[in-house]
Structure formats: structure tokens, C-alpha cells
Amino acid sequence: MKLCSLANRKTLVGTILLFIGSIIASAAASVPDPEPATGWQSKEAAFASQFMAVTAHPLATQAANTVLKNNGSAVDAAVVAQLILNLVEPQSSGIGGGAFMLYWDAENRTLFSFDGRETAPAAANSDYFKDDGGKIIKWREARLGPKAVGVPGTLHLLHTVHQRFGNHSWADLFAPAIALSRKGFSVSPRMAKSIKGAQASLQRFKATREYFFTEQGNPLPAGHHLTNRAFAKTLEIIANEGITPFYEGVIGARLIESLKGDSTKPSLMTSQDLAEYATLSRPPVCARYRGKAVCGMGPPSSGALTVGQILQLIERFDLKDLGASPEGIHLILEASRLAFADRARYMADSDFVPVPVEGLLSADYLQGRSQLIHPSTSMGKALPGQPPGISTAQASMQQFESAGTSHLSIVDTKGNIVSMTTTIESGFGSMLMTQGFLLNNEMTDFSFRSSKAGRLIANRVEGGKRPRSSMAPTIVFDSTGTPVLVAGSPGGSRIICYVVQALVGVMDWKMNPQQAVSMPHFCNRNGRTDLESHLDAEIIKTALTDLGHEVQIRDMNSGLHMIQLLPSGRLLGGADPRREGLALGE
């Protein structure tokens, strides 16, 4: 197959950099995103000299900036932003879900990573997703109702990091969300479209039906003035009494009671499961790329490991010269096949299964794996490798992950940084609502099967275990250990592709953050290649098909939020135009 000429390649790359048109509707995936793409909003890069926040909604970004302006820390801003996102973007995250956070302590030059991932109830076992007849239930049914809910961790994480790194009082940080809950806000076009897209499932449960629909039974339209007094009461209790009422008191008791409403799919969660929840401080996982350290969250997230593998697998190629051409895209897609093959076999909660973290990022191992990448042809489906440190023979298993997630990137006046990806799993989570907030469906991030061909699956259900995630909050450091990039995205398992592409965009293709988060997406999770609909998608599809890829053009619903820390000390931010986010600072 003939590769594109240099002239054609430069034209194509230029078109991609100038891509600001609306995303075109495309063929549906085998399992549609429960949180649909909601249109294109052209955005410009944001500049600041002191602090910056990038979140998925203007109200959350503005509240975070008010805190930062008043000498609040990056953690203070993250608490405020998350609580407001729970209101204005309830389909994506909230205190009924889980989160991972990277925190850079600028004064002590120390990077922390905190695991606020949901956990399985202690009584859960390998039969969790089987019906009374012993058959595995379908994902679409499993994600609805009490049995889908894992023990929430987001609130615990926020409290844990605030106690260590917060400047403002806990109660003060709750005031903006409490006031907004009572005063009300305007339902955004994205929230309205999400409600409409999930209306059949939302109507199955009384609390969500009453909150997300008008008195006439219609999905709330864009512009509808919405209040949430139940959430205001919940937040007032937590503001005044801390997180004890949630994990060991009245809020937790009501949460457990709300899980008993569907006897056909009962939850196994108990008050003891809530009381025993803990945020875990884990070692960050870092990979070397182009002389920089790309750091993120280790197991139970597969994010940093898979992102790191992809980057190290492509490092031997001259991506700077190739640019975002079919040849350059092909190399990244091939590296993704290899990394996702390893992910499917080896990555899960390392407290329950051995994960060869060092081996998966070993330079010698990845140099060998990289030789499987051929510039002129696709390898097709990749097999997992044999990284150093393997202690058990596990089975490979891909598991569907949907896109109900959000990401915050924040830098404060002292240079402290938060990169936090937060989720309730699918759009609107389990569709269950209690005391003004939605509950996650994180249990469906586990493998529904416990074994395959006589081998155990790493991401099988076990009591107290945290399901594997693809969330990839990321901070990149230069050769002196100084942070230069903050990034992350929602998007299910495609999060990994989105983050890699944005990092390559800045580090190799010299884009600014807004260009990097705006360029058309491509992704391969060791199967079909997904290509985002855009002006030149058919041209790229033809070129990739000639290289041996099976290509599908489709919507790809990211929510990338990135901050670049420039050598001058200025901050440059970008918010994904596919959502309603805002980058703002001073």
C-alpha cells in the first residue's frame, strides 16, 4: 500500500489542526454510550499567570476559581467543583460514585496518588452476575438498580485530601453547592440531552422519575430551572458533621435502605461495608517518554500503566515528523493493541491479584514488544506479552466500560496541582437516587465471568475488591522534576486513547492544549479501530483500511481537560469542545 505523500500528509494534518466543525452523527456501537455526545462548542485556549481550573461545567469552574482567588488550595477548589458538578452534571459524577486523584505538593516537590474507587460489598463473590438459573445476566440489565452499586468513595477521598492539603474550612467549601441546590440552576443542553437519552431507564425508579421529569412526565428540557432541596439537606449535614453521617450515620442508613427497593436484584451492601470504606494512598505509576515522566494512577486503575505502555512502545518512531497523519495514527493504534492486550490479562486491583507493574513498564520488555509494530501493516489482534514478574497464569478478558465520568485539572497560586477523574460509571450510574444524589453502577466494571478456559480472570468479582478502571488522571514532569502538563478525560476504556492522543499532541505535534483536546479522536482497544467523525474521516479510514485496519467511524465522547505549565510560569488551558467545560484562571 502506498502511504500518503508528504504534501498530502501536511494538508491533512493542517485540516485536523483547524478542525472546529460540529461532530457528525455516526454508526452506533454494539453498546451505545449511555451518556450521548452532545454537540460541539468551539473554544479558545485560556491563559493565566497565577492559577487555573478546567472542569466540565462553567459553574463548577467559576466556583473553583473563586476559591483559588481567595487563597484556596487546588484541593479546596476540587472539593467545591465536585460538589457543584454533582448538581449540574449529575449524569457523570458525584458523592455516590468514586474517583482517583493525583496531587502535586509543590512546596515539598512530592507527587501523591489517592484511590477513592468504589469497592464491592464484602459478601460479593464470583456468582454475583448470575441469575437464579446460574446464567450470566446481560450488561444492560446488570447496570440498573441496587445490585450494580459499589460502596461509594468520592466523598471519602475529598475529605481525606482536604484534611491534608486544604486551606479553607470544610463547611465553607460546601456553601456554594448548598446555595445552588436551594436557589436552583438552569438545566444545560447536555444534561437535557442526557436525560432524554436515558429516559426509559430513569423512569423505572421513583426518585429519578420525580427529579428528572416534569409534572407532565416529560424529560427536563434545556433551560428548565431545577432545584435540589434534598441534596442541600444532605450537604448541610456533611458540611457540619463531616463524612461520618455518610459512612456511619443517617445518610448511610438511608442509602442502604434505598438499595432494598428492588427485590429482583438485591444489593449485598451493608452498613458495615460503608463504615469500613477507606481512601488508599498508593504509589504513583510513572513512565518515561521523550525525556519526561508521565505519571498517573496505578492499579486498580489500568490508566497509567496502559498510557505508559503505549507511549514507550511508540517512542522509537519519529512521530514529530509524521504528525497526525494516517502513518502516525497507525503507529499509535498498533501500540494500543499491544497495551490493551496486556491490560486485559494482567491489570486489576493489586490488593487482590498480582499485577506485574514494574514488568509491564520495563524498558527491555517494551522494546521487544515494540518490534511487533510495523509501519506498513497492522498486526491485527495482539496477544498479551510475558512481562517480567508474572507469578500466576491468568485469562484475558475485555470488559465493557461506559462513559459517565468527568475530569478536573487544577493549578493553584502556589503551584500545587490536582488531576482528578471522577465517576458514577455509566450515564446516571445505576439510575438509583437517594437524598438528592445518584448512586454508581461501578460493580459492572468487574468481569461478569470469574474464569475462562480454566484460568482465573484478574478483574473478577471478590468481596472488598475495587473494579479495574481506565481512568487516567495524569501529570507530566520534565527532566528536572517540574510539572509541565496536567490532563485527564472521561470516556470509558477509550479514556486511555484520549489521554495518549492529547499528550502526543502537545509533546510531539507541538499543539497547544486547546488544539490537543480538540483534534479528532482515534482509538484501538485490540480490535476494531474507532475513528471520530470529522471532515477528513473517510480519507483517514481509507488509508488505515489499506494498512489492514477494520475501521468504524463513530461519535467519540471525550471530556479532555488539560493545563500546560509553560517555562515562563504562565498557564495555558484547554477544555474539550465536545462538552460544556470551561478553562478559566487569572
DSSP 429-459: TTS-EETTEEPP-GGGGSBS-SEETTEEBTT
pLDDT at 10: 40
Q: Does residue 438 or residue 14 have the better pLDDT?
A: 438
Cell 494512577 belongs to residue: 297
pLDDT at 14: 46
pLDDT at 346: 94
Domains with residue ranges and CATH for the chain: 6-184+227-282+398-585 (3.60.20.40)
pLDDT at 16 over 50: no
- Alpha helices by DSSP H, 315-421: 319-322, 326-346, 357-360, 363-370
Per-position DSSP letters for 515-560, written without gaps between them:
HHHHSPPEEESSSSEEEE-STTHHHHHHHHHHTT--EEEE------
Sign of CA dihedral 398, 403, 405, 406: positive
pLDDT at 454: 85
Tally of CB atoms within 10 A around 452: 14
pLDDT at 211 over 60: yes
pLDDT at 5: 35
Rg, the chain, Cα only: 22
Task: State yes or no: is 405 an active-site residue.
Answer: yes
pLDDT at 44 over 50: yes
Task: Label residue 23 by pLDDT band (50, 70, 90).
Answer: very low
pLDDT at 36: 53
Give the whole-angstrom CA distance, residue 496 versus residue 492: 8
The beta strands (E) that lie in 12-66 are given as: 46-48, 52-55
| 452 phi and psi angles, rounded to 5 deg | -150, 125
How large is the average pLDDT for residues 184-208?
95
**In percent, how much of the chain has pLDDT > 70?**
91
pLDDT at 377: 97
Tally of CB atoms within 10 A around 221: 12
pLDDT tens digits, 407-420 = 999 999 999 999 99
Q: Which of 279, 405, 421, 529 is catalytic?
A: 405
Q: Average pLDDT of the chain?
A: 91
Question: 432 has which bridge partners?
Answer: none
Cell 470488559 belongs to residue: 399
pLDDT at 142: 84
pLDDT tens digits, 530-582 = 999 988 999 999 999 999 999 999 999 899 999 999 999 999 999 999 999 99
pLDDT tens digits, 295-320 = 999 999 999 999 999 999 999 999 99
Give the whole-angstrom CA distance, residue 312 versus residue 373: 12
How large is the average pLDDT for residues 110-114?
98
8 Å CB contact between 427 and 91:
yes
pLDDT at 221: 98
**In percent, how much of the chain has pLDDT > 90?**
83
Q: How far is CA 190 from CA 46, 92, 183, 222, in A?
A: 22, 11, 21, 8
pLDDT at 250 over 80: yes
8 Å CB contact between 335 and 511:
no
